């Protein structure tokens, strides 16, 4: 049960963000909890590979705890 919750609430949304936002090698996704919701912050690396963060995108997902 715990593995399925982690997959549905964290892994699947993170994978979708990576695909939809065109993440490159070296990009990061930070998952945090804010006010009872998961907060996903995507930091993309610049294509030139110079280490500059290109774009920050924030997405939130509601977490329901029974």
User: What pLDDT is stored for residue 10 in this prediction?
Assistant: 87
Q: Which residues contact 50 (CB under 8 A, 6 or more apart)?
A: none
Tokens of 48: 């030139």
DSSP one-letter code for 49: -
pLDDT at 66: 38
CA triplet 2, 61, 9: central angle to 5 degrees? Answer: 20
What pLDDT is attached to residue 65?
43
Cβ-in-10-Å burial (0-12, 13-18, 19+) of 44 comes to buried
pLDDT at position 1 is: 84
pLDDT digits (tens, 9 = 90+) for 13-63: 888 877 877 776 777 888 888 888 888 887 776 665 554 444 555 555 554
């Amino acid at each position: 049960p715990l593995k399925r919750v982690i997959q549905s609430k964290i892994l699947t949304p993170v994978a979708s963000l990576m695909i939809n936002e065109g993440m490159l090698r070296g990009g990061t996704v930070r998952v945090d909890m804010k006010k009872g919701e998961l907060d996903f912050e995507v930091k993309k690396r610049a294509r030139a590979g110079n280490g500059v963060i290109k774009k920050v995108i924030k997405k939130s997902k509601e977490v329901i705890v029974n």
